A and B are shown apart, each in its own frame.
Chain A
Amino acid sequence: MTPRLLEVLSLAKRYGDQVALADIAFSVHGGEVLGLIGPNGAGKTTLLEAIAGLLPVDAGAILWNGRELPPERRREAIFYLPDGVRPYGEQAVARVLAFFAGVYRRSRTQTAEIVDALDLAPVLAKRVHALSKGYARRTMLALGLLSPHPLLMMDEPFDGFDLRQTRAVAELLRRVAGEGRTLVLAIHQLADAERACDRFLLLADGRLRATGSLEELRAKAGRPTANLEELFLALT
Chain B
Amino acid sequence: MRSRDMTRGRAPLRPLLVKELWEILGGPAAWAMLLLVCPLVGYSFFQAVSLYAEASEAALQSPALASGLVPLDGILVPTFGAFYVAVTLLFPFVAIRVLGGEKESGALRLLVQLPYRPATLIGVKLAAILAAWTVTFVPVLSALLVWRMFGGHLALPETLNLILGHLLYGLLVGAIALFAAAVSDNAATAAILALAFTLGSWVLDFTLSGRPGLSEWIAQLSLTQTLRHFEQGLLSLGLVLGIIACIGFFAALATIWLPPGSAPKHKLVRSALCLLAVLVVVAATAAIHRTFDLTEDQRNSFAPADQRALAQLTAPLVVTARFSPEDPRYVDLRRNVLAKLERVMPNVTIRLVGSRQAAAASASDDAYGEVEYVYAGRSDASRSTSPREILPLLYGLAGVSPPAPLPGTAYEGYPLVADASSSLLWFFAALPLLIGFAWWWTRRPPSSRTLIHFTEVQR
A residues sitting closer than 8 Å to B (CB atoms) are: 49, 52-56, 64-65, 71-72, 74-82, 84-92, 94-95, 97-99, 101-105, 108-109, 111-113, 115-116, 120-121, 124-126, 143, 147-150
Within 8 Å CB of A150, what residues of B? 1-2
Docked pose: A109 CA to B262 CA in angstroms: 37
Task: Give the nearest-CB partner of B266 in chain A.
Answer: A56
Q: Would you call B457 and A91 a contact (CB within 8 A)?
A: no
Within 8 Å CB of A78, what residues of B? 113
Contact with A along B254-265 (1 / 0, CB 8 A): 000001111110
Which secondary structure dominates where chain B touches chain A? Answer: loop
Known A64-B1, A104-B11; further 7 A-B contacts with Cβ < 8 A: A85-B109, A97-B454, A103-B12, A103-B15, A112-B456, A125-B445, A149-B7
Docked pose: A108 CA to B2 CA in angstroms: 21
Partner of B105, one of A87, A92, A97, A109: A87
Within 8 Å CB of B183, what residues of A? none
Q: Would you call B15 and A99 a contact (CB within 8 A)?
A: yes
Q: Would you call B446 and A92 a contact (CB within 8 A)?
A: yes
B406 at the interface (CB under 8 A from A): no
Q: Would you call B107 and A88 a contact (CB within 8 A)?
A: yes
Docked pose: A84 CA to B105 CA in angstroms: 8
Partner of B12, one of A64, A91, A105, A124: A105
Q: Would you call A95 and B22 a contact (CB within 8 A)?
A: yes
Which secondary structure dominates where chain A touches chain B? Answer: mixed
CB distance from B299 to the nearest CB of A (A): 48
Known A-B contacts A88-B23, A102-B12, A113-B457; the reply to A77 vs B1 at CB < 8 A is yes
Within 8 Å CB of A85, what residues of B? 105-107, 109-110
B276 at the interface (CB under 8 A from A): no
Ordered by A's residue number, 28 sampled pairs between the chains whose C-beta atoms are within 8 Å are A49-B109, A52-B109, A54-B113, A55-B260, A55-B261, A56-B264, A75-B113, A75-B114, A82-B110, A85-B107, A85-B109, A86-B107, A88-B23, A88-B107, A90-B443, A99-B15, A99-B18, A103-B115, A109-B457, A111-B453, A112-B454, A112-B458, A121-B455, A126-B445, A147-B113, A148-B3, A149-B7, A150-B2
Contact with A along B1-39 (1 / 0, CB 8 A): 111101110011011101100110011000000000000
Docked pose: A129 CA to B109 CA in angstroms: 18
Contact with A along B320-347 (1 / 0, CB 8 A): 0000000000000000000000000000
Docked pose: A81 CA to B113 CA in angstroms: 10
Q: Would you call A94 and B23 a contact (CB within 8 A)?
A: no
B409 at the interface (CB under 8 A from A): no
Within 8 Å CB of B8, what residues of A? 76
Q: Would you call A91 and B22 a contact (CB within 8 A)?
A: yes
Q: Would you call A89 and B105 a contact (CB within 8 A)?
A: yes
B112 at the interface (CB under 8 A from A): yes
Within 8 Å CB of A113, what residues of B? 457
Q: Would you call A148 and B7 a contact (CB within 8 A)?
A: yes
Docked pose: A55 CA to B263 CA in angstroms: 8
Within 8 Å CB of B445, what residues of A? 92, 125-126
CB distance from A1 to the nearest CB of B (A): 20
Within 8 Å CB of B364, what residues of A? none
Partner of A82, one of B7, B109, B454, B458: B109
Within 8 Å CB of A92, what residues of B? 445-446
Within 8 Å CB of B451, what residues of A? 94, 124-125
Task: Give the nearest-CB partner of B7 in chain A.
Answer: A76
Partner of B6, one of A54, A82, A105, A120: A105
Within 8 Å CB of A99, what residues of B? 15-16, 18-19
CB distance from A7 to the nearest CB of B (A): 15
Docked pose: A111 CA to B458 CA in angstroms: 11
Q: Would you call B15 and A98 a contact (CB within 8 A)?
A: yes
Contact with A along B421-459 (1 / 0, CB 8 A): 000000000000000000000010110001101111110
Partner of A90, one of B27, B109, B458: B27
Within 8 Å CB of A81, what residues of B? 110
Residue in B101, B102, B450, B453 with the greatest tally of chain A CB atoms within 10 Å: B453
Q: Would you call B11 and A54 a contact (CB within 8 A)?
A: no
Within 8 Å CB of B6, what residues of A? 104-105, 148
Task: Give the nearest-CB partner of B116 in chain A.
Answer: A103
Task: Give the nearest-CB partner of B5 in chain A.
Answer: A105
Docked pose: A95 CA to B222 CA in angstroms: 41
Within 8 Å CB of B113, what residues of A? 52, 54, 75, 78-80, 147
Q: Would you call B107 and A111 a contact (CB within 8 A)?
A: no
Docked pose: A126 CA to B260 CA in angstroms: 30
Within 8 Å CB of B19, what residues of A? 88, 91, 95, 99
Task: Give the nearest-CB partner of A150 in chain B.
Answer: B2
Q: Would you call B105 and A86 a contact (CB within 8 A)?
A: yes
Partner of B454, one of A65, A94, A143, A149: A94
CB distance from A137 to the nearest CB of B (A): 13
Q: Would you call A54 and B112 a contact (CB within 8 A)?
A: yes
CB distance from B102 to the nearest CB of A (A): 8
B residues 273-317 with Cβ under 8 Å of A? none
CB distance from A176 to the nearest CB of B (A): 13
Docked pose: A112 CA to B457 CA in angstroms: 5
CB distance from A8 to the nearest CB of B (A): 15
Partner of A149, one of B2, B26, B106, B259: B2
Docked pose: A75 CA to B105 CA in angstroms: 20
Docked pose: A215 CA to B16 CA in angstroms: 46
B residues 99-126 with Cβ under 8 Å of A? 101-102, 105-107, 109-110, 112-115
